[in-house]
Amino acid sequence: MISATNRPLVIGIDIGTSGARAVAMDAAFNVIASGSSKLADFSTDHRDPVIWWKAVQTALGQVLEAIDRMQVRAIAIDGTSGTMLPVSADGAPLAVPMMYNDPVGDADILAHIKAHAPQESAAHGATSGLAKALLFKSIPDVFRVIHQADWLAGHFTGLYDVSDENNALKTGYDPVSRCWSDWIAGTGARLDLLPDVLPAGAPIAGISKDAADALGLPEDVVIVAGTTDGCASFLATGADQPGDAVSALGTTLTVKMLSDRPLFAPEYGLYSHRIGDMWLAGGASNTGGVVLSAHFDTDGIAALSAEIDPTTDTGLDYYPLVRDGERFPINDPAMKPRMSPRPDSDAVFLKAIFEGIAGVEALAYDRLVSLGSPALRSIRTVGGGAKNAVWTAIRNRKMPVPFLAVASEEAAAGTARLALIGAKSAGVL
């Protein structure tokens, strides 16, 4: 436990696809304690909201055991984007929630959204929050249809009618006008069932007495509007200025950048989350680690990387894909992989793939700039590819901006940063 000095702390909680994590953070962004739990430890039914809360309680409990609870000033929560559930006024779930990737199969619902939603809206698609809200609107005695993070935050405040601008985006919220869009009513959705929306990082309310007593927390703890898990992961890195970017080198390549203006390009699946007075825009390519794993195992990549000189070019112009089709920075469902000629040397082949993926990454940031983003200012990298120094050197040659270390890869740390903003706004930090 940290010493009982005047060291105010905030807590960020992340509920993801497999479990929950929580961190305690001080005002200097130092993570003081962390906790985690797996949904599978409680049930194989990850749609059961009771399991979400148990996982959160476990992760939070580990953090609270490691700190002085009396120093906690604020708590914020992120959840999976597009996970929705209908609730009664006291927060009781009235139906099985629909998860972020659960599609709505009602063709009429999707047709109504398509007919009324602007092209640039994030509410299009069978997995959108709005499609799920339409599906749930006729449930008897429904009070609100809310997002996963909203429901969990309600356990701390007793309020089950408040959301944040990031979770609400796919439900039809207009982050530019900062209101529920007028066109939503045309889809048949009930606007009275949608939650009130606050900016991410805005104070929602003080903790309820029941929650404070149950957790042993001070009664002046402020509960802060959270965000989606994806936005939280970006914020965790420490990127906080227009032009700051984060590349995720995982199975696929995802790029995100902070912008001083919103970017919307539906042809690329590109829309913007509002975070304070800035905007988080990004896109996802079909290239990435999936291409590497199609040709090499992990040990092979490590061994061959040691043979590569990252300061020179192979002269090969690859666009690495494992199958036809690309989303971003080129939108072409029929696009063919470009991975020939195949050199005799495996090391040269691997180097050409590294160069190709780096080239796609550079093109992705150029695309964001062409759509109105600021100039690329810096890149932080997360995911397995971040650990390969040779690949990093190749990338830095193609994108000659500072490559900065990430503050954290824990989404909960990003949500804790929002809790800090809310605590300062509420005057408790």
407: three-class secondary structure by DSSP: coil
C-alpha closest to that of 258 among 279, 272, 274: 279
Q: pLDDT digits over 295-323, tens only?
A: 999 999 999 999 999 999 999 999 999 99
Amino acid making up residue 387 = K
Euclidean distance between CA atoms 395 and 353, whole angstroms: 12
Q: What is the pTM of this model?
A: 0.94
| Stretch 204-210: mean pLDDT | 98
Burial group, residue 298, by CB count within 10 angstroms (0-12, 13-18, 19+): exposed
Residue by residue, DSSP assigns 76-138 as EEEE-TT-EEEE-TT--B-SPPBPTTPPP--HHHHHHHHHHS-TT-TT-STTSHHHHHHHHTT
| Stretch 180-188: mean pLDDT | 96
* pLDDT band, residue 4 (cuts 50/70/90): very low
The CA angle 325-326-329, to the nearest 5 degrees, is: 165
**In the CATH scheme, what is the homologous superfamily, with its name and number, of domain 240-404?**
ATPase, nucleotide binding domain (3.30.420.40)
Q: Looking only at Cα atoms, what is the longest distance across the chain? A: 69
- Please say if the pLDDT value at position 2 is more than 90: no
| C-beta separation of 241 from 260 below 8 A | no
Q: Cα-Cα-Cα-Cα dihedral of 30, 423, 406, 58, to 10°?
A: 70
Region 9-231+411-425: CATH code: 3.30.420.40
Q: Give residue limits of the domains in the chain.
A: 9-231+411-425, 240-404
Return the bridge partners of 205, or none: 223
Answer yes or no: same fold for 9-231+411-425 and 240-404: yes
